[in-house]
Amino acid sequence: MKPTIAELEKIARTLRLNIITMIGVGQKGHLGGSCSLAEIVTALYFYKMDHDPQNPQWEDRDRFLLSKGHAALVQYAALAEFGYFPKKEIEKVKCLDAMLQGHPDMQTTPGIEANTGSLGQGLSIAAGMAAGLRLDGKKSKVYCIVGDGEIAEGQIWEAALAASYYQLDNLVAILDKNGLQATGPIKDRYDTNPLAEKWKAFGWHVTEVDGHKLQEIIKALDDMDKIKGQPKMIIASTVKGRGVAFAEHVAAFHNGQLTEEQFEQACAGLL
Amino acid sequence: MNTQNPRQVYGETLLELGRENKNIVVLEADLSKSTMTCLFEKEFPGRFFEMGIGEANMTSFAGGLSLTGKIAFTNSFAVFAAGRAFDQIRQGVGIPKLNVKIVGSSAGLSDFGDGSTHQSVEDLAIMRAVPNMTVLVPMDGIETRKMTRAITEHQGPVYMRLNRNELPDLFPEDQEFKIGESYLIRDGNDVVVFANGIMVSKAVKVAETLEKDDISVRVVNVSSLKPINEDAIKAFASGVKGIVTAEEHSLIGGLADIITYILRGKGIKIETIGIDDKFGTSAHNYDELLEKYGLTERDILSAIGKIIT
């Protein structure tokens, strides 16, 4: 049975708490771009995707790739909630030889589908997976999250061309339009807008949602199943640092650290 | 002596393998008529992916295909297959040990007319430096066929470098090719030449010439640069007056480095033949280039001379 919107909202808050727990006090962590994705990742793992934490390699599963691999914490938060690995692993994130690396590592972490982190590559990997699954006649879908800063990488547009040319309609990309890159607002630093027009011109079916409204996200994900013959893009407007009041819209929390006071404040705001 | 073109042999072998194994997929960056993957494309269009002139995307896309159980061969000229897609190889293939076979065609100086932009003098060095990567250089068509089959069986990333031009068949037909091993092509006991690629047949010719002067030259084909059986190299290097390395590659990061590293501390005389930290250049034929960069039989002869005198 599918969870209700209220249940999903509660899960998204839990994911944010897990993210804050992983960042902790006095260590750098990608808070902003992880928190902007909490609802989207919740909708994918807890509503939309067919997957099995007891059998992460189940061959008919849907795949999820985080092309913006620096937001790994939000994926770890979801995988931990689902029991892909013991929840205590999140306390050891980025420790020497830890299961949970600074960027997603399929060699160490159950549930991670690819190694991402060098930006711009995940969408190509996702497209290749989609092509492979189609060759095998699988119904599985591949979901891939890219960032609005990340799409400055030329390879994203190589992947956009390829997915369109090969009509990969089992590929759904979600663009985390949080408006901030590491050094400031995208509009001021290196403007990648307009977005929808670009993806449409590359042959993708495009829809736009509020990336924090679960109702909109799940409707868009369900609607995408009906589109055939082309890859699909959901452009999700989000707030970087969403849910942590003092970090919202603040580029410094792209990869910042929390003081003890900020940590307590962040947790209190999410409980 | 029979000659064959390694890329033709590669294309034919890939086609045979495609008939035997439906998990083989081939990716191409608009050079299929040169790399000879066109043979596979014609029979298996559904498992052939033309990726346009986009080596970066081709490499990551191949990684994605391999994650669904496919054995993915990426193809381009060596300089692009290894160089243009270096980060994609490192991040998305090397780190996760994906089953992607990167085939660098028209390698070394063999694309003589196109000049420095298309000639790979450093591809083996950069591929060797990637952890988890297997790096191979066949010496002729026979070895190319055996090697293409061996890398298909091997689970994990491989870089295989292919020459553009006809090469004489010297690899024994009845010799199995195993990744990591080196092969005695001709025995001798005065000097050993460790060579790979086009330099093996040149070394053999030099050995034949010197036999008349009672100088006995052992020729070893080091087609596996990584992994490499170090004990076997030490055994091949024993009992001689000195050794010569010969490669169509920069002296930085290739065979010369490997052999001198393995034989360090042994007090053996070593001469190295290779490209002296320079880019290539255009020429009207291959031999002109090999002459300019010191990769001829005469260069091997002269190196042997330095050891035995």
Task: Count the domains in chain A.
Answer: 1
pLDDT the model gives residue A271? 84
The verdict on a CB contact (< 8 Å) between B96 and A114 is yes
B265–chain A Cβ distance below 8 A for any pair = no
The verdict on a CB contact (< 8 Å) between B51 and A114 is no
Q: Over 90: is that where the pLDDT of B106 sits?
A: yes
Q: Please tell me whether the overall predicted TM-score, pTM, comes out greater than 0.95 for this model.
A: yes
Question: What percent of chain A has pLDDT above 90?
Answer: 98
Domain with A238 in it: 5-270
Within 10 angstroms of residue B50's Cβ, the number of other Cβ atoms is 17
Q: Over 90: is that where the pLDDT of B142 sits?
A: yes
The verdict on a CB contact (< 8 Å) between B65 and A130 is no
Torsion angle of C-alpha atoms B236, B239, B241, B244, degrees rounded to 10:
0
* Residues A113-135, mean pLDDT to the nearest whole number: 97
Side-chain-side CA neighbours of residue B230 (13 Å): 6
Q: Over 90: is that where the pLDDT of B309 sits?
A: no
The verdict on a CB contact (< 8 Å) between A154 and B65 is no
- DSSP letter (8 states) at residue A4: P
- Minimal C-alpha gap between A66 and chain B (Å): 13
The CATH number of residue A195's host domain is 3.40.50.970
pLDDT the model gives residue B174? 97
Q: Where are the beta strands (DSSP E) in chain B?
A: 3-4, 24-28, 48-50, 71-77, 100-105, 134-136, 158-161, 167-168, 183-186, 191-195, 217-221, 224-226, 242-250, 269-275
Q: Would you identify the CATH topology of the domain B183-308?
A: Rossmann fold (3.40.50)
* Residues A26-45, mean pLDDT to the nearest whole number: 96
CATH annotation of B3-168: 3.40.50.970
B149–chain A Cβ distance below 8 A for any pair = no
Q: Decide if the complex's ipTM is over 0.90.
A: yes
pLDDT the model gives residue B64? 98
- Express each pLDDT in A83-93 by its tens digit: 999 999 999 99
Tell which of B67, B73, B84 to mutate to test the A interface (max A CBs under 10 Å). B67
The verdict on a CB contact (< 8 Å) between B70 and A135 is yes
Domain boundaries, chain B: 3-168, 183-308
- Express each pLDDT in A62-105 by its tens digit: 999 999 999 999 999 999 999 999 999 999 999 999 999 999 99
Side-chain-side CA neighbours of residue A10 (13 Å): 5
